[in-house]
Every structure is written in C-alpha cells, then in structure tokens.
Amino acid sequence: MHRRIVIWLLATVLLTTVSPVEAQQSVGKVYRIGFLASGPPPPEPVPLTFPFAAFRQALRELGYVGGQNLVLESRWAVGKPERLPALVAELVRLKVDIIVASGVSAVRAAKNATRTIPIVMAGAPDPVAFELVESLARPGGNVTGLSDSAGREIEGKRLELLKETVARVSRVGVVLDSASRVDIRPTREAAHALGLTLILSPETATSEEFRSSFALMSREGAQAIYAPETPINVRYRGFIVELAAKYRLPTMYGSREFVEGGGLMSYGPNFSELFRRAAVYVDRILKGTKPADLPVEQPMRFELVINLKTAKQIGLKIPPEVLVRADRVIK
C-alpha cells in the first residue's frame, strides 16, 4: 500500500505541475485523438454520467475543443475483441497524435499496432501482469495511463460486501464471459477465506448464453451473483441486470453504471473520475512529456453504490451498517 501511495503521489505531481508556457495551446494546431474501447458506444447524446462524457468534458476544460483544435476519433468493438486490430489500424492510418484505450484488450491491440504513437490507458487491470507496461513507476515504451485496479484485494472486498448484505449467503455465482481474461484465482482465494462456494458460469458471449448461465447458476443454488467488469458483461449490462432481477438474485457489480441501470450494488473505482485523469495524461503528452516518463496511476479511492429501489423489488433489506458506508444511494 505504501508503494502504491508513493507511485500515486509521484504521478500526481508530474501531471499537475504545468508551467505558464505549457498552459498556452499551440496556435493553429489541431490535435487528433483516437479513442478505442472494447465495449459498446454510449447512447447519443452521451449522458453526462457516462465516463466518455467525463473524458470529453475534461479535454474541453484543458482547452481542447471539438471543431476548433480537436478531432476526436472514437472506435468501439461492442464486446467483440476480434474487431480491435482493425479498429486501431484505422486510427493509425488517420495519424492520430495519441490513442486512448480502455480495457486490457484495447490497450494490447493498440500496443501491437504501434510503437511510436503514445497510448494512454483509460482503465486496465494489472497492466504489469498483462505486460502492457514494464512497471507502474517506470512504464517504458509508449504506454502509460490509468489502471482500474488496486490489486487482488478488491475481489475480496466485493465478496465481503456481498456477504454482509445478503444474510446467510453461502453460494455465489460468478458471471464469466468468453473475452474477459479474468484471473479467477483472487476471487477463489477470497471466497475460500469468507467461507463462500463459487458457482462459475460457462463463458458467455450472447444473450442466449447469458440466459442459460443464469438458469444454471440458479439451479445450482446460487444465492447471490458477482458480475466482474469485463467487455462482454459491459456490453450486456442491461440484460445482466434484467436477469438478476428475474431470478431475484442480489448482485455485486464492478462499476456504478450497472447500478445506475437498475443493478443492486457495485464496488469499484469511479470510472468517470478515471477518464478525467486520462484527459490529463493526454494533455501532458501533447505538451511534450514522454509516456515512458509518466508513472501509471492506480485508483486510490473506491466507491460503494447501492440501489434501494432494486433492493425493494427483490425483497432485500440492506443492513444499516452496509448502507451507512455507501458513497451513493439510489432511492
């Protein structure tokens, strides 16, 4: 934890120290920024609560305005990682100044496509383990940015909160998808420590497979569900929330967007805040800082979001000791 704090402080100092000269945008320069994501595009107009909207707003606040000195080229794989190489190839052909990539698959596709265009991660779990950077303090190469995980312990925290919320829970279903690349070992270790039995779903990629997975987990006695933040799970966010409600299964998610869409609860980083930080990285790189010299940031704060309306619909009373710890409560 001490090491994470040191890295975070170093990154913050580097990213917030801007000289008066740097504060001036290059006259007449139009920057072309590529944005690559594994998931689906947000609806138009983009709701202000969506991370992509936060990214665009942060760019505007930093002086990058679409139609004036900014062209933002966004590409979305809609949960189909096999599309990423072709999408990032388009961005490279467009000669973008920077590629902002969200998710491990997107960052890896960008890194495989170019060694010269700077790449800013807008959320990727354990970028060192996935060989996206050499280290958090000294990423090396052309990739830096934001990790969306503070380590293995977050899996334990999510299961712990789920257990505190659902009385006498002993069997938890885990929704896996065919493109997740989730390392299930931390979740298994946390479940063992908490006395929980995991019921792993088959790897899913279509609505029918999600439907079958929920039916299977229900038959095998799942009393609650954990749906990790994965590209396909994000793509089928609304459908997963719908299935959890159908089976009246309390569900823990990895981001607040699921809860805002009707899910029960989430524990994880604030992705809007993370995307805003990604805009700061973009700004620093466009002003001359090399990606290799910008430490990777890890989230230092995680938020618990609870939807009381959903809890009432499935007949669940949220314990006061859990409710009082929530950062946001949807009523």
Residue-level pLDDT at 25: 46
298 is a domain residue: no
Is 110 within 8 Å of 71 (Cβ atoms)? Answer: no
313 and 174 in one domain? yes
Total domains, the chain = 2
Q: How far apart are CA 102 and CA 201, in angstroms?
A: 25
Q: What is the domain extent for residue 12? A: 2-150+269-293
Residues 249 and 316 in one domain: yes
Name the pTM for this structure: 0.80
283 and 219 within one domain: no
Asked whether residue 14 carries a pLDDT value surpassing 70, the answer given is no
**Token pair for 64:** 């990058």
Q: Do residues 180 and 234 lie in contact, with contact meaning Cβ atoms separated by under 8 Å? A: no
Within this chain, do residues 165 and 281 fall inside the same structural domain, yes or no? Answer: no
Plot region of 43 (φ>0 → left; ψ -120 to 50 → alpha; else → beta): beta
Residue 191 has pLDDT above 70, yes or no: yes
22 pLDDT more than 60: no
Q: What is the mean pLDDT of the chain?
A: 90
pLDDT higher than threshold 50 for residue 20: no
Q: What is the pLDDT of residues 45-57, one digit of tens each?
A: 888 878 999 999 9
pLDDT for 324: 97
Looking up residue 223, the CATH number of its domain turns out to be: 3.40.50.2300
Q: What tokens does 48 get?
A: 């202000």
Same domain, 313 and 242: yes
pLDDT digits (tens, 9 = 90+) for 254-310: 999 999 999 999 999 998 999 999 999 999 999 999 999 999 999 888 999 999 999
Token pair for residue 172? Answer: 């938890």
- Which tokens in the block code for residue 229? 């933040």
pLDDT in tens, 305-328: 999 999 999 999 999 999 999 999
